[in-house]
Amino acid sequence: MKRIYWMVSLLGLAALQAGCATRGYVDDKVTEVNQRIDGVDSNVKRLDAQLGLTDVSLKMHTDQIAKLEGDVATLSRTAQEALDRATAAGKLSEGKMLYEVVLSDDHFKFKPGSDKLSKETKAALDSFAARLRAENTGAYVEVQGHTDSRGEEPQNLKLGERRAMAVYHYLHTKGRLPLHRMNVISYGESRPVANNINEAGRKQNRRVVLVVLK
């Protein structure tokens, strides 16, 4: 009988210990689950913040795209005018525009009132001329001069012409492009691609556009 009693007691103690172990295990699991929930909440908050930033970024990109589309519309108008002029003069073999290259003060440093070519502009013109020679398509180039709106309109028209002529002569003397395959025109301040009320816009308007036709 004593042996049976001790066996029962030992079994009871083992069950009690097992119960305590099970409770501790459950407590550990509950803690672990709570930590995971906290982690999920943190991730959700972070994602919400990122989505908010994404909305702002998308709006910025949308605004930038709208502005670029406006710039392209303006540039395409001058390109179409160049195409019409070259076609009327019988300068083209196929009567189509190939592409445009814009050299603006925003990148190439056309100083206010100046037609001096910067080293950045010269480097860009070197690359442009090398590309035309490599393509060897007999392309025709109209060099268009543009200005910002500061100053009088007649002076700006002359300044645009001086800028275009500076590019024209450089493409011939340094870029080895034949003179009869190029033409120069000035638009002065009449074809802005940005607002002239601030310097950032004026920098974009001080530019030379190379319209490549064939």
Residue 116: CATH number of its domain: 3.30.1330.60
> Average pLDDT of 48-74?
52
Beta pairing, strands 97-104 & 207-213 = antiparallel
> What phi and psi, each to the nearest 5 degrees, are found at residue 167?
-70, -45
Query: Does residue 50 sit within a domain?
Result: no
Whether 22 is in a domain gets the answer no
Number of domains in the chain: 1
Instruction: State both tokens at 101.
Output: 């290259």
150: containing domain: 57-213
Q: Report the pLDDT value the prediction gives residue 38, as an integer from 0 to 100.
A: 59
With respect to residue 140, please indicate whether it lies within any of the assigned structural domains.
yes
- Does residue 7 lie in a domain region? no
Query: Which of 6-10, 94-98, 105-109 is most confident?
Result: 94-98
Is the model's pLDDT at 100 over the cut of 80?
yes
37 lies in a domain? no
Are the CB atoms for 102 and 124 separated by under 8 Å?
A: no
Whether 13 maps to a domain, the answer reads no
Per the confidence metrics, is the pTM higher than 0.85?
A: no
Residue 2 lies in a domain: no
Assess if residue 186 is contained within a domain: yes
pLDDT digits (tens, 9 = 90+) for 6-30: 444 444 444 445 444 455 544 555 5
Note the pLDDT of residue 11. 43
Judged against a pLDDT cut of 90, whether residue 212 lies above it is answered with yes
State the virtual CA torsion across 198, 203, 205, 207 in degrees, nearest 10.
Answer: 170
List phi, psi (to 5°) of 95.
70, 45
Residue 213 phi, psi dihedral angles, 5° rounding: -120, 165
Q: How confident is the model at residue 104 (pLDDT cuts 50, 70, 90)?
A: confident
Q: What is the mean pLDDT of residues 24-51?
A: 57
- Give the integer Cα–Cα distance in Å for 107 and 103: 7
